[in-house]
Amino acid sequence: MTELLNGKGLSLVPKTDAKQTLKDFKSDQEVRWCPGCGDYAILAAVQSFLPELGLRRENIVFVSGIGCSSRFPYYLDTYGFHSIHGRAPAIATGLAASRPDLSVWVITGDGDALSIGGNHLIHALRRNVNLNILLFNNRIYGLTKGQYSPTSEVGKITKSTPMGSLDKPFNPISLALGAEASFVARTIDSDRKHLQSVLREATAHRGTSLVEIYQNCNIFNDNAFEPLKDPEVRDDITLRLEHGQPIVSASKAVVRGDDGRIAVVPRADVAAERILVHDAHSPDPSLAFALSRLDEPAFEHVPIGIFRQVDRPAYDVLMAEQLEEAVAQQGPGDLSDLLMGGDTWRIG
Amino acid sequence: MTKQVQQLDRVIIRFAGDSGDGMQLTGDRFTAGTAEFGNDLSTLPNFPAEIRAPAGTLPGVSSFQLHFADHDILTPGDAPNVLVAMNPAALKANLGDLPRGADIIVNTDEFTKRNLQKVGYETNPLEDDTLAEWRVHAVPLTSLTVKALEGFDLSKKDAERSKNMFALGLLSWLYHRPIEHTITFLQQKFAKKPEIAKANIAAFQAGWNYGETTESFSVSYEVKPARLAPGVYRNISGNQALAYGLIAASVQAKLPLFLGSYPITPASDILHELSKHKRFGVRTFQAEDEIAGVGAALGAAFGGALGVTTTSGPGVALKAETVGLGVTTELPLIIVDVQRAGPSTGMPTKTEQTDLLMAMYGRNGESPVPVVAPMSPSDCFDAAIEAARIAVKYRTPVMLLSDGYLANGSEPWRLPEISELPDISQAFTTEPNGEDGAFLPFKRDEETLARPWAIPGTAGLEHRIGGIEKADGTGNISYDPDNHDLMVRTRAAKIAGIDVPDLEVDDPDGDARVLVLGWGSTYGPIAAAVRRIRKSGGKVAQAHLRHLNPLPANTGEVLKGYDKVLLPEINLGQLALLLRARYLVDIISYNRVRGLPFKAEELAGVIQDVIDSD
Mark B280-303 as b/e (b = at least 16 C-beta within 10 Å): bbbbbbebbbbbbbbbbbbbbbbb
Cα B472 to chain centroid, rounded: 40
Please, what is the average pLDDT of chain B? 96
Could you give the C-alpha distances from B232 to A342, B9, B434, in angstroms and in order?
A: 11, 23, 51
Q: What is the mean pLDDT of residues B27-52?
A: 88
Q: What sign does the dihedral B299-B301-B305-B308 (CA atoms) show?
A: positive
Q: How far apart are CA B67 and CA B80, in angstroms?
A: 8
Residue A5 has pLDDT above 70, yes or no: no
Say what the pLDDT of residue A3 is: 38
Residue type, B426: Q
Residues of B in contact with A47 (CB under 8 A): none
**Secondary structure (3-state) at B413:** strand
Residue B303 and residue A94: Cβ atoms within 8 Å?
Answer: yes
Could you give the C-alpha distances from B512 to B87, B523, B533, B564, B600, in angstroms and in order?
A: 48, 19, 12, 10, 19
Angle subtended at Cα A208 by Cα A204 and Cα A213, rounded to the nearest 5 degrees: 85
Q: What is the pLDDT of residues B197-224, one digit of tens each?
A: 999 999 999 999 999 998 888 899 999 9
Residues of B in contact with A15 (CB under 8 A): none
Are the C-beta atoms of B176 and B4 separated by less than 8 Å?
no
Contacts of A157 (CB under 8 A, 6+ apart): A163, A164, A165
Domain B505-612 in the same topology as domain B234-420? yes
Domain boundaries along the sequence of chain B: 4-223, 234-420, 505-612
Q: Taking Cα atoms as reference points, which of B193, B191, B204 lies closest to residue B164?
A: B204
Residue type, A128: N
Angle subtended at Cα B395 by Cα B393 and Cα B400, rounded to the nearest 5 degrees: 85
Q: What is the mean pLDDT of residues A306-331?
A: 96
Residue B614 has pLDDT above 90, yes or no: no
pLDDT band at A6 (very low <50, low <70, confident <90, very high): very low
Q: Taking Cα atoms as reference points, which of B98, B388, B394 lies closest to residue B259?
A: B388
Phi-psi region of A223 (alpha: psi -120 to 50; beta: other; left: phi over 0): left
Are the C-beta atoms of A241 and A307 separated by less than 8 Å?
yes
Q: For testing the chain A interface, which of B462, B463, B469, B476 should be mutated: the one with the most A CBs within 10 Å?
A: B462
pLDDT band at A297 (very low <50, low <70, confident <90, very high): low
Q: What is the mean pLDDT of residues B145-171?
A: 94
Q: 43-72 in B: which are within 8 Å (CB) of A? A: none
Strand locations in B364-455, DSSP E? 371-372, 397-403, 410-414
Q: Which CATH number fits domain B4-223: 3.10.105.10, 3.40.920.10, 2.40.30.10, 1.10.10.10?
A: 3.40.920.10
Residues of B in contact with A333 (CB under 8 A): 247, 251, 277, 279-282
Q: What is the mean pLDDT of residues B42-62?
A: 87
Please tell me which residue of chain A has the smallest CA distance to B33.
A343
Q: What is the pLDDT of residues B509-543, one digit of tens each?
A: 999 999 999 999 999 999 999 999 999 999 999 99
- pTM equals 0.94
Q: What is the pLDDT of residues A188-247, one digit of tens each?
A: 999 999 999 999 999 999 999 999 999 999 999 999 999 999 999 999 999 999 999 999
Q: Cis (ω within 30 of 0) for the bond into B550?
A: yes
CATH topology of domain A2-229: Rossmann fold (3.40.50)
- DSSP track, B172-192: HHHTT---HHHHHHHHHHTTT
pLDDT band at B181 (very low <50, low <70, confident <90, very high): confident
Task: Name the packing angle between helices B523-535 and B600-612 (round to 10°).
Answer: 60
Q: What is the pLDDT of residues B219-274, one digit of tens each?
A: 999 999 998 899 999 999 999 999 999 999 999 999 999 999 999 999 999 999 99
Are the C-beta atoms of A116 and A86 separated by less than 8 Å?
yes
Burial class (CB in 10 A: 0-12, 13-18, 19+), B47: buried
Q: How far apart are CA B431 and CA A337, in angstroms?
A: 37
Residue A84 and residue B321: Cβ atoms within 8 Å?
Answer: yes
Q: How far apart are CA B188 and CA A28, in angstroms?
A: 64
Class of domain B234-420: alpha beta
Please tell me which of the candidates B228, B303, B476 has its beta carbon nearest to residue A99.
B303
Mark A319-342 as b/e (b = at least 16 C-beta within 10 Å): bbeebeebeeeeeebebeebbeee
Q: What is the pLDDT of residues A321-339, one digit of tens each?
A: 999 999 999 999 999 999 9
Q: For testing the chain A interface, which of B233, B278, B382 should be mutated: the one with the most A CBs within 10 Å?
A: B278
Residue A4 has pLDDT above 50, yes or no: no
Residues of A in contact with B322 (CB under 8 A): 84, 87
Q: What is the mean pLDDT of residues B45-69?
A: 89
Q: What sign does the dihedral B159-B162-B167-B172 (CA atoms) show?
A: negative
Whether chain A has a CB inside 8 Å of the CB on B306: the answer is no
Please, what is the average pLDDT of chain A? 94
φ and ψ of A264, to 5 deg: -105, 125
Please tell me which residue of chain A has the smallest CA distance to B248.
A335
Residue A94 and residue B289: Cβ atoms within 8 Å?
Answer: no
Burial class (CB in 10 A: 0-12, 13-18, 19+), A206: buried
Burial class (CB in 10 A: 0-12, 13-18, 19+), B591: middle
Are the C-beta atoms of B147 and B115 separated by less than 8 Å?
no
Count Cβ–Cβ pairs < 8 Å, chain A vs chain B: 208
Residue B50 has pLDDT above 90, yes or no: no
Q: Taking Cα atoms as reference points, which of B69, B11, B65 lies closest to residue B35?
A: B69
Q: Taking Cα atoms as reference points, which of B608, B611, B607, B567 lies closest to residue B590?
A: B567
Residue A98 and residue B303: Cβ atoms within 8 Å?
Answer: yes
Q: Which CATH number fits domain B505-612: 3.60.10.10, 3.40.50.720, 3.10.310.10, 3.40.50.920?
A: 3.40.50.920
Q: How far apart are CA B149 and CA B161, in angstroms?
A: 11
Residue A74 and residue B464: Cβ atoms within 8 Å?
Answer: yes
Q: Taking Cα atoms as reference points, which of A223, A272, A84 lies closest to residue B298?
A: A84
